[in-house]
Amino acid sequence: MSGPLKGIRVIEMVGLGPCPFAAMMLSDMGAEVIRIDRKAKPGADNPFPMLGTEFDVMARGRRSLALDLKQPEARAVLLDLVAQADALIEGFRPGVMERLGLGPETCLERNPALVYGRITGWGQTGPLAQAAGHDLNYVALSGMLHPMGRPDSPPTPPLNLVGDFGGGAMMVAFGVVCALLEARQSGRGQVVDAAMVDGSALLGAMIYGFKAFGAWSDQRGANMLDGGAHFYDTYTCADGKFVSVGAIEPQFYALLLQLADIHDPEFQSQMEVSCWPSMKKKLAAVFLKKSRQEWCDLMEGTDVCFAPVLDMNEAPLHSHNIARSNFFELGGVMQPAPAPRFSRTTAEVTEPAASPGQHSDAILRDWGIDADRIIQLRQNNVI
């Protein structure tokens, strides 16, 4: 392991979405993250068949220990690991870990310096805390789903990037690292309560500022950054592919008009909102005159603020992504590389996703569980 978090030990209670993404981030940065997988029941249905296979990209870089946490012996083993860990992260509904006898009070009693990271949709408290939900619901409640999409359609789901990963996983990973830094000074751990609705709202800080200033309309598709402006949007090319333009600043906008060979005087009223719909139609017609590659040859690398809209097959093959090593292949699976980058403690991933329980014996040995106990745990069907 290398990376800035080398030497940090983390226990990941395996779940869906944001928790494994946060664990991946910590592992990518060099932390030793042990996945606590559920001991699979024979013949159990798996609604996400990619999980537990080499295609489970978010599981990369970690070893897996499968425990039947309904058994007291399994919980005792986990608490023995907790005693040696720096952090634990979990993404279950509030109360699940407590019912297992593995809640924060129990774990902090075994290890007072432990950082206990909790990621949920609605948070540990509040009237919705116990309700089911998904990324889309949390982003909706934050106010950040309403602005997304075209004015003639309902709000567009932003994949699950805003709630699960931006507002959830990244917030709990950041919170855990913050708490680890504090624990090094105080010697005391704490609980990190990361909610996807909270984090999604925080991601909208700039937009809420625009709104308070009077520079943001509740009408979708009528603002500078939501596709309302002709100079900040995506356009279809002659070959049916797409390009993106973000020419906000006057000098960048002037270069856009120059390279697109636009001389229509209406385009001189860049910030006249009432003219945006008309100019958008005209600009759309301009981009339809050339293929995406022709527009790339003309604008890519200039100050127009331009980029082709690449699909997931194309992105790893783009020259800039190749130069930056933004994608790599591991175990035959193309995937995004760790980010951000460090000048000295380089992050790297050497292990593909493990199958559940693949490293159970090795993990227990490495964390000080004696061989006879491991044999007994196997005999009792605990691991």
Six-digit token pair at 43? Answer: 């013949």
CA distance 314 to 230: 26
DSSP letters for 27-81 = HHTT-EEEEEEE-PPTT---SSTTTTSTT-GGGTT-EEEEE-TTSHHHHHHHHHH
Contact at 8 Å (CB) between 140 and 160? no
Residue 89 β-bridge partners: 12, 117
Catalytic residue numbers read 134, 164
Quick one: which of 105, 91, 95 has its CA closest to 18? 91
For residue 320, the SS3 value is helix
Exposed / middle / buried, residue 86 (Cβ in 10 Å: 0-12, 13-18, 19+)? buried
Residue 32 β-bridge partners: 9
Contact at 8 Å (CB) between 316 and 327? yes
Residue 34 β-bridge partners: 11, 63
